[in-house]
Amino acid sequence: MEEKLFENVWRNFKGNNWKNEINVSDFIISNFNEYTGDDTFLSNPSNKTKAVWSKCEQLLEEENKRGGCLDVETGILSGITAFAPGYIDKENEVIVGLQTDAPLKRIVNMYGGTKVAMKALEAHGYKINDEVYKYFTTYRKTHNDGVFHAYTPAIRRARSNGLLTGLPDGYGRGRIIGDYRRIALYGIDRLIEFKKNDLRGEEIDGNNIEENIRLREEINEQIKALEAIKTMASSYGFDISRPAQNAREAVQWTYFGYLAGAKENNGAATSIGRNATFFDVYIERDIAEGTLTESEAQELIDQYVIKLRLIRHLRTPDYDELFAGDPTWVTETIAGMLDADKSLTTKTSFRLLHTLINLNPSAEPNLTVLWAKGLPENFKKYCAKISIKTDSIQYEGDDTMRPLYGNDYAIACCVSAMKQGKQMQFFGARCNLAKSLLYAINGGYDEKTGKMVVDGLEKNTENVLTYERVRRQYSEMLKRIAKIYVDANNIIHFMHDKYAYEASQMALHDTVVERLMAFGVAGFSSAVDSLSAIKYAKVKPIRNDQGIAIDFEIEGDFPKFGNDDDRVDSLATELVQEFFDDIKVHKLYRNAKPTLSLLTITSNVMYGQKTGATPDGRKSGEAFAPGANPMHGRDCTGALNSLNSVAKIKFANCCQDGVSNTFSIVPNALGNNENEQIENLVSILDGYFIQGAQHINVNVLNRDLLVDAMNNPWKYPNLTIRVSGYAVNFNKLDRAHQEEVIARTFHEKR
């Protein structure tokens, strides 16, 4: 009976390995058809799609009018089966499923911490149901409680002075990508069978008692979650105990898996993986069998994307300050290469990007193209065309990442690669490297609060800073903060596993999973330029009564990061390598492997606000550049120099969690007409990634347009721009963030 079922749902699929083990990658490799043609086959949105999307547009407008939050479910707590089924326009929805019983109604998740959840509710004018609150707080301890029971005094000081910020100690850590495709390919029941198999061991390994016991408990949590996903799907009328038997079911089953994670968790980045080519196998089969038309295939993808555009989490104002514009990072990873010769580009890679035309530009899902020299030329041109039109795509270097992550990895959040279903990440926010430099100069005292934060450091008393001395003190400081930072992340993830375990997402991973712990830095280019100023110009600290340098006088010029000048670019590459090496020496929770990113999201603004004047001439409180970007306006010798500087930062064994670069160029600097602009953008992307670069956000627009949009938001309801590893609707940014984006370098024609 069961055999017959599998024979039917897997009809005409080739290959065998994937049938005997959980191996989606092998299934794709055995069955996908690379598409090298152009975009002329694409369809317009169907009537059903138009009907659903127009309802959504009304709701989104309403959400905007209500200050960014349409509604909150205050009577029920988060959970996979907690909510009744919800619809937007039932008869026109081809793909169904909402986080709660109504579109854009947000979930209260208290497992991360009750305080943060209450603050978020209060900010939007809501109050949790008293009974629910009482019940939860009486019987549950949260992740946040756990973390603060273990934090050391050093971590607390670093945290409250803005040296370490954005740590996921009061909200979901996110960044975990379940391999949601597994549900479509195998059905829930088969996945449960495999998990039960992993529980067979008769004994606990005496050398590894805690890990063994914990894993057994987790597997059972995972099985429970898989059962819950099945129950949730059945409330929508679908039986996902068995595999999907056609394209519509494949998309629907996969989405149910994702949806369960978004009901259960509120992680900052809840990315969805790399699904287009997987879906394409089903779509091609249906088209060959005559049961699906191109228009219907596009409809599936359009409606899938509509659902992803409606994912919401309840956030506090503090959080919005860090991650502006209400992002959810439903990152969908597209294309990339199978090997050196063949790409994983399919028609569905096009269909997915085409949603930006069919449904207007949008910040979510975070469409991420894995760029490689070997991608089909037609696909490259199509990407460039859509980028120029919509400013909604980011690109990441597949030739840079594939050697380390294989050909079935996906991007979580902005730039974090992980093998789907085989690796997970402990997200670790970031350490402020510019402030760290000030601590090195000020002997561990904070330049803003005057407080002692990192003890045992020597204060610099020089009238003119000497490079050797400052650099040595900086190294000392980096070692100290690296340890504090590692301690913080070990505690956070210990407690997160304990009190807010992502059972539904981890259920869609192999039981034995490789863990990455992702560290990050902020204030990168400001720190680098400061070192350069100290080395090549004359920098005099201006100290207050306490002897803390609160400003700097700079005489003479110095090379700045972003101009392809090795004198300063070498300081940059040295700095990140040193900091990574400082982290690497420490033992990490659950034997995680450390990684490092140059990625600030939009926290560069807030980090800048909390940091005093720096030796590069940056004023106190001024925003940092985002991610690995050169400081605003300092990359003044041309766009290619700016790209070359960033491309020098090493990915493998250094910044292996990503090097984020946001690049804005005015249209006519790319070429005189659309065709030239497309071809030239393709050349720029090729040139950038050939050098081993990892990430670039591309915006093709004029600064005037943004200034106009800042002053007349009603004129630009759909204006989407890439900010830092994600895209936002420009109108959703607050004034400070809008101004920071406008102050960034726009590469122009000379």
Partner 1 sequence: MTGKITDLETMGSADGPGIRLVLFLSGCKLRCLYCHNPETWNKHAFRREISSEEVLKLYNKYKVYYGEKGGVTFSGGEPLMQSKFVLQTIKLLHQHNIHTAIDTSGVGEDYDEVLKLVDLVILDVKAVDSDEYKSITGRDIKDFNTFLTKCQNLNKKLWLRQVIVPGINDDEQHVLKFKQFARGLSNVERVELLPYHNMGISKYNELGIKYRLESTPNMDKDKCKQLEQLLNN
Q: Which residues belong to the active site?
A: 413-414
Question: By the 8 A CB rule, do 146 and 534 touch?
Answer: no
Measured in degrees and rounded to the nearest 5, phi and psi for residue 347 equal -60, -30
Q: How many CA atoms lie within 13 A of 163 on its CB side?
A: 32
Question: Of 461 and 683, which CB lies nearer to partner 1 in the complex structure?
Answer: 683
For the CB of residue 673, give the shortest distance to partner 1 in the complex, in Å. Answer: 9
Question: Of 179 and 564, which CB lies nearer to partner 1 in the complex structure?
Answer: 564
Torsion sign, CA atoms 363, 366, 367, 373: positive
Cα separation, 66 vs 72, whole angstroms: 12
- 121 SS3 class: helix
| Residue owning tokens 């996902």 | 240
Measured in degrees and rounded to the nearest 5, phi and psi for residue 311 equal -65, 130
Instruction: Point out which span in 108-116, 273-281, 415-423, 671-679 binds partner 1 (CB under 8 A).
Output: 671-679
Cα separation, 90 vs 20, whole angstroms: 37
Question: Of 15 and 671, which CB lies nearer to partner 1 in the complex structure?
Answer: 671
Total of chain residues touching partner 1, rule CB under 8 A: 27
Amino acid at site 646: V
Cα separation, 702 vs 568, whole angstroms: 29
For the CB of residue 702, give the shortest distance to partner 1 in the complex, in Å. Answer: 13
Interactions with partner 1, residue window 634-663 (CB under 8 A) = 637-641, 643-644
Cα separation, 269 vs 260, whole angstroms: 15
Amino acid at site 542: I
- 591-602: buried (b, 16+ CB within 10 Å) or exposed (e) per residue? ebebbbbbbbbb
Site string for partner 1, 501-520 (x = CB under 8 A): --------------------
- Interface with partner 1 includes 669 (CB under 8 A)? yes
Report the 3 state secondary structure along 610-676: CCCCCCCCCCCCCCCCCCCCCCCCCCCCCHHHHHHHHHCCCCCCCCCCCECCEEEECHHHHCCCHHH
Interactions with partner 1, residue window 564-593 (CB under 8 A) = 564
Among 68, 450, 671, 713, binds partner 1 (CB under 8 A): 671
Question: Of 477 and 684, which CB lies nearer to partner 1 in the complex structure?
Answer: 684
Question: Of 598 and 647, which CB lies nearer to partner 1 in the complex structure?
Answer: 647
For the CB of residue 741, give the shortest distance to partner 1 in the complex, in Å. Answer: 22
Instruction: Point out which span in 219-227, 453-461, 670-678, 699-707 binds partner 1 (CB under 8 A).
Output: 670-678
Instruction: Point out which span in 25-33, 339-347, 398-406, 664-672 binds partner 1 (CB under 8 A).
Output: 664-672
Beta bridge partners of residue 425, listed in sequence order: 516
Among 289, 339, 455, 676, binds partner 1 (CB under 8 A): 676
Among 438, 465, 606, 670, binds partner 1 (CB under 8 A): 670
Strand segments (E) across 17-70: none
H helices, E strands: number in the chain? 28, 19
Site string for partner 1, 586-625 (x = CB under 8 A): ----------------------------------------
- Interface with partner 1 includes 739 (CB under 8 A)? no
Residue in 3, 111, 100, 33 with CA at minimum distance from that of residue 503 = 111
For the CB of residue 719, give the shortest distance to partner 1 in the complex, in Å. Answer: 21
Site string for partner 1, 683-722 (x = CB under 8 A): xx-xxx-xx-------------------------------
Name the helix (H) or strand (E) containing 728. strand 727-729
Question: Of 514 and 686, which CB lies nearer to partner 1 in the complex structure?
Answer: 686
- Interface with partner 1 includes 745 (CB under 8 A)? no
The contact set with partner 1 (CB under 8 A) reads 564, 637-641, 643-644, 668-672, 676-677, 679-680, 683-684, 686-688, 690-691, 747, 749-750
